Structure 1
């Protein structure tokens, strides 16, 4: 049973049974919207299978999906719900929209759920390998930041880059500490895909996890998904000052986009990262562009 199968209620799994195995394996996201049929996303394109078109989803359907992600209870995942999404066992990320219940300016829960996005984790072994000759410096990968708009595979590329370092594939083998705050990089069986020298700390705030790994696991490389808070940056600055290589991701499609946000301006100004990988989409295929210190290689 795959991570996606574990995250789905029975009715939704049955709807996916109409897909051929290869097509089902290629699904990157499922989109559920109350009053509309199920849709899937592959290579950035959203489509609806003919078998789904006459079956609009209900709010009850959406709640069943959330309950499955919460192992039977929405209350068990309230803390994650307040962040706008939930990570179910196996790393399936569930984004949530609807009518929020707010008290004193803080989101408590959702009165109504109107849209869900299930992002399916993929282990695409080998996608980082062609980038290694452009990343390597003296036989080792330096601190690298992976950037793209949402949904283009930053986490998937980061996961395979961790695997390459952990195995010593195309580069010197390194111990990699993985700060997996939301369980998307190495949760469950995904941990085995990261290789024999990866140590994963799950369900811990990213900034705290980075420092705990630094102090307790003697990593040569630290990896984290999605830099979003000043505390993440502070922790990375501390680790960089201790001689640890850093791997991370951030939302952004260009230098110009990064420069519009104060956190990323500070990140670039700190000089923590020596290499940058931009992911874009062209004719339905992902394109990886390596840049060095702001200039194309």
Structure 2
């Protein structure tokens, strides 16, 4: 279900007709619905607020169609605030949350949906691979980027290139992706919907700190790829991977190396963590998504 028309067919008739009347949906990134509020379309370069408003019935019908009338089958995902539908598209959900003993029990009265369109850009990583690949090895690499600057798209394509052994790499590497938020491989029922390479194993919806250890123990990866590190547990698991001889490629939210160092200080992790990463790539969208602002080799 990578075709946008297939996604539109999951909406209520009212919502679908309104979107079909809009016209071109090229470069659409998000569709946001809120009860009694206008539909918002977010493109790579602009935001469009439509005049039509979303009703409770629109939300109800859309959720039923997306979950194939079994929202309870997505119960664990819903507790995290999203479901992933076929094609790897991620649907953020919110409304009235019910807690028990400090933990999310369930969500009721759903009032907002945010459909994030999943797209792969094959070849996106080609201009970056020469920084990461050196003398037959994959360097431990940290990608620093603000939101919506292409870091997850880059991770996905790097996984494909490294796993397949595409030039300039002369052999494929065994790759494990720890896909905590189901965004890199966009898995549906555990199966990647996007191309992450033939030698790649995906730990879908798995905590980074747990998945990294599981991968090392069971899949013998040569490269581990994960997104958005930041907690003490994340950093500690990366240290374990490093000490196991596994290469790491990861991302972190930020606009500079200082943001990375600040997170290390906040984690109170007394190690030389900053020395693990031999290549640091800093991205922004100054000249479009995936603009390479700075490269640092250590």
TM-score band w.r.t. shorter chain = 0.7 to 0.9
Partner residue of 2:87?
Answer: 90
Contact 2:40–2:48, Cα closer than 8 Å, also in 1: yes
Write the distance in 2 (CA, Å) between the matches of 1:78 and 1:267: 38
In structure 1, distance between residues paired with 2:136 and 2:249:
16
Match of 1:212 among 207, 211, 214: 214
For these two proteins, the number of residue pairs brought into alignment is: 288
The 3 A distance-change label for structure 1 pair 92 and 56 is: same
Helix, strand or coil at the partner of 1:195: coil
- CA contact under 8 A between 1:128 and 1:164: conserved in structure 2? yes
Q: How much has 1:129 moved relative to structure 2?
A: 0.5
Moved over 6 A (4+): none
**Whole-angstrom CA distance in 2 between matches of 1:38 and 1:242:** 49
The 2-side partners of 1:58 and 1:150 are apart by 30
Contact 2:149 2:289 in 1 (8 A): no
In the other structure, the counterpart of 2:11 is 9
Which residue pairs with 2:97 in the alignment?
100
> Over residues 173-212 of structure 1, what are the superposed CA-to-partner deviations in whole Å (9 max), with x where a residue is unaligned?
3111122233322225745612222122324333332222
Q: Which runs of 5+ in 1 are unaligned?
A: none
Report deviation, 1:41: 1.7
Alpha-carbon shift at residue 64 of structure 1 (Å): 3.5
Question: 1:241 offset after TM fit, Å?
Answer: 0.8
Q: Secondary structure at the match of 1:177?
A: strand
Shift of 1:29: 1.5
TM-fit CA distance, 1:6: 5.2
Distance 2:271 2:281 in 1: 14
| Cα RMSD (Å) | 3.0
**2:252 match:** 250
TM (normalized to structure 2)? 0.82
SS of the equivalent of 2:202 reads strand
Report which stretch shifted further, 65-74 or 262-271.
262-271
Q: Distance in 2 between matches of 1:166 and 1:235?
A: 22
1:160 alignment partner, SS class: helix
2:240 aligned to 235, 238, 243, which one?
Answer: 238
Note the 1:1-297 alignment, pairs <5 A.
1-2=1-2, 5=6, 8-11=10-13, 12-18=15-21, 23-43=24-44, 45-48=46-49, 52-53=50-51, 55-169=52-166, 170-172=168-170, 173-186=172-185, 187-188=187-188, 190=192, 193-261=195-263, 262=265, 266=269, 269-270=272-273, 271-282=275-286, 284-292=288-296
User: What SS does the aligned partner of 1:24 have?
Assistant: coil
Gaps of 5+ in 2: none
